[in-house]
Chains A and B, each alone.
Chain A
Amino acid sequence: MVPVRPGPFVSDCGVFPMEWTSYLAPLSQGAWVTVQLTVYSTILGALCAFVFGLGKLSHNPLVKGISVAYIEIFRGTSLLVQLFWIYFALPIMGQAIGLDLRFPPVVAGVVALALNIGAYGAEVVRGAVQAVPKEQYEAATALNFTGRKRLWRITLPQAIPEMMPTFGNLAVQNLKDTALVSLISLGDMAFRAEQIRNFTQDSVTVYTLVLFMYFGMALVLTACMKLLERYVGRWRAAGR
């Protein structure tokens, strides 16, 4: 008989429920991975959003075409499939053309999340830039700004505060989506929860805990985004 090696979640009497506080240590480890995934993929996603959102407004047909294709593909397919494609399919395709496209799970996870959220963010960037009044564009032209400076100095500073509420939603969406990366064996919070449940069968406690932990993270994230929103739009509140 193979002896059962007692894991951290297995009590002396087998798979029966333990004190719920003993779940907190492994869950916190997972939470830290979730936080890192969220922060990295949100920042990278914001970068994608700006690059491709502005790209979609470009007069260059190639730049515009690439941006539109990216946005439509990543908005039009499932995040789970994108994740599996990057993690499982890409290395095999890379092998066929002689490239090493094997990524560690954390890289594949961050990239998939960022590309996905970036596609939604790109539409937000495009919309906010287009919503800046035409008169601002004309005033900048009359003052002889170059196209690039008009964008950086006049248009974007007015467009970014408009993007922030939706960016806040997308960031929270992204936090919740990180749970999917547990499926490529990344040890995030959802992965840890699944592990504990497998050992203890204590679904109610584990998933209730995880629910509250995700909710707590979402609250903190929302607060951070609100602060950022206030910062980039501080001129709007002046004297009010």
Chain B
Amino acid sequence: MNDATDNRGPIIKFDKVVKRFGDHVVLDELDFEVQRGEKVTIIGPSGSGKSTVLRILMTLEEINGGVVYVGGEPLWHQRKGESLEPAGEQHLRQMRSHLGMVFQQFNLFPHMTVLRNLTEAPVQVLGVSKAEAKQRGMELLEMVGLTDQATKYPHQLSGGQQQRVGIARALAMRPKIMLFDEPTSALDPELVGEVLNVIRTLADEHDLTMLLVTHEMHFARQVSDRICFFDKGRIKEQGKPEEIFTAPKEERTKAFLKAVLDPDD
């Protein structure tokens, strides 16, 4: 039985997770929890391991130590009696079904129309009928304001439009957890707003757990229940947005926020 429907305990839990790239330690025995329905934003300097947290959750990056739990179930391990073994593909596929991811570079499928981008995985992976997938796809396009672009190909869309399709595509799989990996970093400044508006709409949904890596500090402050400041592969400081942004305790947090909020000083 999968425990993702179990409503007790955190939906995401990192237990002393270690991630290394060669000699470089990206996550240094990270402990990190996210509650069900919580909207958490991870901030921090580049190379602090922010994106790695999301990529590990989406099973795009393996871990070198510790255990990650999603919905109470180990993500990268399978229970065998009392002990944990490295997970097989079947277990990973089952765990992935709880998660959706939005990428910095959108990563839409260039050979499919916008609508097909939204229907392909539900049809091929979930076994939803084509008619049903199309209907759901059009509903999602309406939500992100792109119904008139359904038959176009990704390269015919602006970056902001592509990212809105990217969000809709992830939602089409009905994930319980949405991961946003710097969703606006690749966009021209004037296109950032339209994408943030879509994410803001999602943040109002109580059931959806959101984990966001971003450099948009004002936006993070508006939509997050909690802000985590990452530094050198660990959480240096975390708390409610008001606390972190107005009264950070750690010197490192202060320095980082000063650098990103008042870059001209």
Q: Which of A7-15, A153-161, A191-199 contacts B (4 or more CB under 8 A)?
A: A153-161
User: In the complex, what residues of B have CB within 8 A of residue A143's CB?
Assistant: 120-121, 125, 169-170, 173
A91 to chain B, nearest CB (A): 46
User: In the complex, what residues of B have CB within 8 A of residue A236's CB?
Assistant: 110-111, 155
- Cross-interface CB contact of A144 among B97, B105, B110, B169, cutoff 8 Å: B97
Instruction: Report Cα–Cα, A191/B187, bound state, in Å.
Output: 63
A6 to chain B, nearest CB (A): 62
- Find out whether the CB atom of A238 lies under 8 angstroms from the CB atom of B120: no
- Cross-interface CB contact of A138 among B60, B108, B120, cutoff 8 Å: B60
- Find residues 92-142 in chain B having any chain A CB closer than 8 Å to their own CB: 93, 96-97, 99-101, 103, 105, 107-112, 120-121, 124-125
Instruction: Report Cα–Cα, A46/B93, bound state, in Å.
Output: 33
Q: Is B8 an interface residue (CB 8 A)?
A: no
Task: Give the interface centre of B103, B152, B153 by most chain A CB atoms within 10 Å.
Answer: B153
Q: Is A173 an interface residue (CB 8 A)?
A: no
User: In the complex, what residues of B have CB within 8 A of residue A239's CB?
Assistant: 152-153, 155-156
Dominant SS at the A interface?
helix
User: In the complex, what residues of B have CB within 8 A of residue A149's CB?
Assistant: 124-125
| Closest B residue, CB atoms, query A156 | B111
Q: Is B147 an interface residue (CB 8 A)?
A: no
Interface residue tally on B, bucketed by range: 20 to 34
Instruction: Report Cα–Cα, A142/B59, bound state, in Å.
Output: 8
- Find residues 134-176 in chain B having any chain A CB closer than 8 Å to their own CB: 152-153, 155-156, 169-170, 173
Instruction: Evaluate whether A235 and B125 lie within 8 angstroms (CB atoms) in the complex, with A138-B103, A141-B58, A143-B173 already known.
Output: no
Instruction: Report Cα–Cα, A136/B106, bound state, in Å.
Output: 10
Q: Is A145 an interface residue (CB 8 A)?
A: yes
Instruction: Report Cα–Cα, A146/B156, bound state, in Å.
Output: 28
The number of inter-chain residue pairs (CB within 8 angstroms) is 68
Q: Is A135 an interface residue (CB 8 A)?
A: yes
- Cross-interface CB contact of A235 among B58, B60, B97, B112, cutoff 8 Å: B112
- Find residues 151-183 in chain A having any chain B CB closer than 8 Å to their own CB: 153-154, 157-158
User: In the complex, what residues of A have CB within 8 A of residue B112's CB?
Assistant: 235
Interface residue tally on A, bucketed by range: 20 to 34
User: In the complex, what residues of A have CB within 8 A of residue B152's CB?
Assistant: 238-239
| Closest B residue, CB atoms, query A237 | B153
User: In the complex, what residues of A have CB within 8 A of residue B99's CB?
Assistant: 142
Q: Is A139 an interface residue (CB 8 A)?
A: yes
Task: Give the interface centre of A136, A143, A145, A154 by most chain B CB atoms within 10 Å.
Answer: A143
User: In the complex, what residues of A have CB within 8 A of residue B125's CB?
Assistant: 143-146, 149
- Find residues 51-80 in chain B having any chain A CB closer than 8 Å to their own CB: 58-60
| Closest A residue, CB atoms, query B169 | A143
| Closest A residue, CB atoms, query B97 | A144
Instruction: Report Cα–Cα, A102/B152, bound state, in Å.
Output: 55
- Cross-interface CB contact of B124 among A139, A142, A145, A147, cutoff 8 Å: A145
Instruction: Report Cα–Cα, A147/B58, bound state, in Å.
Output: 16
- Find out whether the CB atom of B153 lies under 8 angstroms from the CB atom of A142: no
Instruction: Evaluate whether A142 and B60 lie within 8 angstroms (CB atoms) in the complex, with A153-B124, A239-B156 already known.
Output: yes
- Find residues 25-57 in chain A having any chain B CB closer than 8 Å to their own CB: none
| Closest A residue, CB atoms, query B104 | A135
A168 to chain B, nearest CB (A): 20
User: In the complex, what residues of A have CB within 8 A of residue B170's CB?
Assistant: 142-143
Residues in chain B within 8 A of chain A (CB atoms): 58-60, 89, 93, 96-97, 99-101, 103, 105, 107-112, 120-121, 124-125, 152-153, 155-156, 169-170, 173
